[in-house]
Amino acid sequence: MRKKKIAVLTGGGDCAGLNAVIRAVTKKAIIEHGFEVFGIEDGYEGLIHNRLRKLVYDDVSGILTLGGTILGTSNKADPYKYIVSQGRQVKFEDRSQEVIRNFKQWGLDGLVCIGGDGTLTIAHRLYQDGIPIVGVPKTIDNDILGTDITFGFDTAVEIVTEGIDRLHSTAQSHHRIMIMEVMGRKAGWIALHGGIAGGGDIILIPEIPYRIERIVERVKQRSQKGKRFSLIVVAEGAKPEGGEVVVKKIVRDSAEPVRLGGISFVLGDEIERMTGLETRAVVMGHLQRGGTPTAFDRILATRLGVSAVDMMVRGEFGHMVGVVCDKLIPVPLQEVAGGVRRITTENLLIRTARSVGTCFGD
């Protein structure tokens, strides 16, 4: 009997813990099942352009602590909407049939797709077109449906928390309002967790539109009580009541062309104008994605990778490994595709933060 062959790819934005999943998938498949394992380079880009390399035990030994991904990644290579630039024009082509043909020519028996909502939405379509796929949820934003937690999130929160700690001392010394802008297009999980852990006085998230008057009122209240500084944590997707998000730029050669960013500077200018208090803004940006994963993320990523192989062996294709009440369960990709897990206003953490005086701008 021929050895079974499986492949693994990482799609979308990078985050801490990706290599831990690659390691777990590869080692589990080789040690317990004698599979041949292959890595597809640069996400779906590698599937389209036939970029595949074999992974042996030594290839994944020692990568547990590494940030990023040894396979590379891409957040532009949607096989169903592949970008083709012709001069100043941008066109989209359906290259999905090439992907399916390459998969079959490689003789693969299964594919592990590690990624966020975009990657897993594509994975669902590929599964519908006949590719046996198991998904692994990855995003620092922690906003994937069907799972309580994603690896990469804990590391991002740790980085944000450390950043807030560092801002605290300079804010207090210079009697300033310091605003930290963190990632979070449609969901404010990083801002909420990082803001609470760092003692943010005001936390602004996409799920709760803010009123600038309420923020100014809170800042003035603190100043009147002798607190001559304030810390504000804002998600990039936060917006005022009746207003719109702040768009940093439009990337034409992308399936998601709108890039958010700059809300902290807009907010800072408004607060300084309305209060007369010196205000500074800091954007954490891609610092949240990089570096060594926390112990929590290393363990979670390893569990997810091992479970993905188990699901393949059981033939549970078309599913993602979800974490529900700390148990790993198969979640249909159909339930994951195209959605975002947002924070509800009744979330226990929001209620907890309000109880200790945190303002959400509402």
Cα–Cα distance for residue pair 270/67, rounded to 1 Å: 37
CATH number at residue 65: 3.40.50.450
Residue 348 inside a domain? The answer is: no
- The answer to whether residues 13 and 140 belong to one domain is yes
Residue 344 inside a domain? The answer is: no
Report the Cα 174 to chain-centroid distance in Å: 34
- The answer to whether residues 188 and 285 belong to one domain is yes
Residue 329 inside a domain? The answer is: yes
What's the domain count of the chain? 2
| DSSP code, position 63 | -
DSSP string, 70-125: TT---SS--TTSEEEEETTEEEEE--HHHHHHHHHHTT-SEEEEEE-HHHHHHHHH
- The answer to whether residues 274 and 299 belong to one domain is no
pLDDT at 42: 93
pLDDT at 254: 63
Interaxial angle between packed helices 153-174 and 189-197, expressed in degrees from 0 to 180 and rounded to the nearest 10: 50
Residue 190 inside a domain? The answer is: yes
- The answer to whether residues 265 and 299 belong to one domain is no
Global pTM? 0.91
Residue 246 inside a domain? The answer is: yes
- The answer to whether residues 144 and 183 belong to one domain is no
Candidates 12, 349, 9, 322; CA nearest to 150 is 322
User: Residues 251-292: pLDDT tens digits?
Assistant: 666 666 777 888 999 999 999 999 888 889 999 888 888 889
pLDDT at 255: 60
Residue showing tokens 């945190």? 358
- The answer to whether residues 228 and 320 belong to one domain is no
- The answer to whether residues 69 and 123 belong to one domain is yes
Residue positions annotated with a catalytic role? 141
- The answer to whether residues 17 and 144 belong to one domain is yes
Residue 163 inside a domain? The answer is: yes
Residue 359 inside a domain? The answer is: no
pLDDT at 339: 85
Q: Which residues of the chain have pLDDT under 50?
A: none
Radius of gyration of the chain (CA): 22
Query: In the chain, what are the helix, strand and coil shares in percent, each to the nearest 5?
Result: 40, 20, 40
Report the Cα 340 to chain-centroid distance in Å: 11
3-state secondary structure of 289: coil
CATH number at residue 238: 3.40.50.460
Residue showing tokens 């570096």? 291
- The answer to whether residues 286 and 297 belong to one domain is no
Residue 307 inside a domain? The answer is: yes
Cα–Cα distance for residue pair 175/198, rounded to 1 Å: 18
Q: Which residue range is the domain that position 238 belongs to?
A: 159-290
